[in-house]
Amino acid sequence: MFTGIIEAIGEVVASESRGGDLSLRIKTHGLDLGDVQLGDSIATNGVCLTVVELPGDGYRADVSVETLNYSTLRQLKPGSRVNLEKALTPTTRLGGHLVSGHVDGIGEIISRSADARSERFRLRAPAELAKYIAHKGSITVDGTSLTVNAVEGNEFELNIVPHTIEKTIIGGYRAGTRVNLEVDVIARYLERLLLGDKAASAESKGGIDLAFLAEHGFYRG
């Protein structure tokens, strides 16, 4: 688990295709790896990756086909900057929100504009994730825990303060930038709980829709 509070900006130094999946080598720069061992997890642009090598100036991790299909890691190349966060410890301050490092899908930056000293970003999420994004709720963008300031359909807005712009890769976002999204894990569990006994049925694959809500008295068409 992670908090979504970025600890350092790393740099991809190698991206190698291996048997259909990917091997990434990351230089960690300011991230202290003194307490990291082989098998530990490091969130890399919000993706929980397992450390398989510690060459001294960073780490190497393998990226599965499943992860490549749901994240932007496939587009990383030498020189790409990435957000880094080590896994939680029992004494870690939970400054953001609970983040699993399991990316739900890829979003896209639609626009960026100044808002006093902050920057306001508008993003488009995959349609299937829209139901999990709520006004003033939490969302993880490339591993950064952020607050949703407005929602309209599958588009939402974020207000990013100068400190976050400086300490994460968000400062490099432009219209068209693709980003990793992880929705609030509580919303996902709530959906599953509301399904009740139907959660064990193959019919529950699509999750909760208007028909389900109407059947259980939560919605009237």
- Provide the H-helix boundaries in the chain: 65-70, 162-167, 185-195, 210-215
Q: Does domain 8-86 have CATH number 3.20.20.80?
A: no
Of the pLDDT bands very low, low, confident and very high (cuts 50, 70, 90), residue 5 is very high
> What are the tens digits of pLDDT across the range 172-205?
999 999 999 999 888 888 887 887 777 777 565 5
pLDDT at 220: 54
- Residue 61 pLDDT exceeds 70: yes
Residue 70 region by backbone torsions, left for phi larger than 0, else alpha for psi between -120 and 50, else beta: alpha
- Residue 94 pLDDT exceeds 90: no
- Residue 218 pLDDT exceeds 80: no
Per the model's pLDDT, the better-predicted residue between 214 and 19 turns out to be: 19
Residue 13: name the closest of 44, 50, 47 by CA. Answer: 44
Tell how far CA 152 is from the center of its chain.
Answer: 20
- Residue 71 pLDDT exceeds 60: yes
pLDDT at 161: 97
Give the chain's length. 221
CA-CA-CA-CA dihedral for 63, 64, 69, 75, to nearest 10: 30
What would the DSSP string read from start to end of 5-22? ---EEEEEEEEEEETTEE
> What are the tens digits of pLDDT across the range 122-178?
999 999 999 999 999 999 999 999 999 999 999 999 999 999 999 999 999 999 999
Query: Taking the model in full, what pTM does it have?
Result: 0.86
Domain definitions of the chain by residue range: 8-86, 186-215
